[in-house]
Structure 1
Amino acid sequence: MSSYEQRPSGCTSFEEELIDAMNNFANSTNAPAFDTVGMVHRTRRRRTGLIAGFAAALIVAGGGTALASITGASETSAEPAATATTAVDHNKATFLLGGLTKEPIAVDLTGMDLATAKGQFLKAQLKLGTVVKVTSPGCKPTSVVEVTPHSPKIVSKGDTVNVKLCAG
């Protein structure tokens, strides 16, 4: 019998040696060990670093102005200090916007007209509810004097906010 003829098992000697070698390899190799906890921590650290870097780049590039416009911050105040002490309660016209950052952002709508307040609601992705005019001393007509819910309650994206305007 030559080495190329079929053996009684149906395999050539080369095939038998190959099968034996593969079986030995499969039976002797240990399963790989993965440090899954370390991989998760490493991934989270990288993700946090990337987010922090991206946020810093946005702030440096001027992306922080969008956040300032949502909070109602103004660059300069042309009003004299005497008009700042009106009878309008700023807490009633301020709502806390949650879900954008770790801490809620206070948005003060005191003294804004309805169109400007609607713009703030669009930026914050809030719905405008009922608009009612009320009498309030020391306020500019058609300006916002109260929102519901107001601080310290937190509103999130998609919530409805009701507005009370000064009747004059």
Structure 2
Amino acid sequence: MSSYDPRPSGCTPFEEELINAMNDFAHSTDSPAFDTAGMVHRTRRRRATLIAGFAAALIAAGGGTALASISGSASQTTPAATTVDHAKATFLLGGLTKEPIAVDLTGQDLATAKGQFEKAQLKLGTIVKVVSPGCKSATVVELTPHSPKIVVNGDTVDVKLCAG
């Protein structure tokens, strides 16, 4: 018995016609063609692009955070009197970005300076107290080497503090 043969009794002519129409429709339509290789390729390319975008955003956010933490405390302090030379108390940290990062320690206490050196992975050299007009006692007035020289991870920086 095929789908086109008349049905045994029990089916109304309407039901027979409906079944025949459904069979004709099912056998006449083309099945959809899927380009599975293309779909997989697009999915992998989109996934790779998305992962690369997230990685770039995380690197940018992490790098920005690291740079802000190195130079952040220097910008939060009040500068010393105008007689202190800021260039002598500023070091240029190289090796993190294309351009070196200026970190100004003018007027900072020794503990803050040590923290900045640790963040920048620099070694603290000799600490000397000097008499300098217009500075607050026990604050940084000069670093060696200072800007325009560039220091990198592992370098030693000497500190001169105000004697008061």
- TMscore range, shorter length: 0.5 to 0.7
Q: Deviations over 1:137-157 (max 9, x none)?
A: 111100000000000000011
Deviation at 1:68, TM superposition (A): 1.2
What SS class does the counterpart of residue 71 from structure 1 fall into?
helix
Deviation at 1:66, TM superposition (A): 2.9
Matched residues in 2 for 1:102 and 1:112: separation? Answer: 27
2:66 maps to 1:66:
yes
2:152 maps to 1:131:
no
Deviation at 1:56, TM superposition (A): 2.7
How many residues are paired up? 115
- CA RMSD across the alignment: 2.7
**Equivalent residues in 2 for 1:91-102, closer than 5 Å:** 91-102=87-98
Extract unaligned runs of 5+ from structure 2.
Answer: 1-47
2:52 maps to 1:56:
no
Amino acid across the alignment from 2:119: K
What SS class does the counterpart of residue 150 from structure 1 fall into?
coil
Larger-Rg structure: 2
2:160 maps to 1:159:
no
Deviation at 1:71, TM superposition (A): 1.6
2:145 maps to 1:149:
yes
Extract unaligned runs of 5+ from structure 1.
Answer: 1-45
Q: TM-score normalised to the size of structure 1?
A: 0.59
Deviation at 1:67, TM superposition (A): 1.4
Matched residues in 2 for 1:115 and 1:75: separation? Answer: 16
Report if the CA contact (8 A) 1:149-1:161 is conserved. Answer: yes
Change (3 A) 1:163 1:92: same
Change (3 A) 1:137 1:53: farther
Deviation at 1:54, TM superposition (A): 3.1
Deviation at 1:164, TM superposition (A): 0.2
Matched residues in 2 for 1:155 and 1:145: separation? Answer: 18
Change (3 A) 1:140 1:54: farther
Deviation at 1:73, TM superposition (A): 4.8
Change (3 A) 1:75 1:125: closer
Report if the CA contact (8 A) 1:72-1:109 is conserved. Answer: no
Matched residues in 1 for 2:144 and 2:76: separation? Answer: 28
The alignment-based identity, stated in percent, is 72
Change (3 A) 1:63 1:102: closer
What SS class does the counterpart of residue 136 from structure 1 fall into?
coil
Match of 1:118 in 2: 114
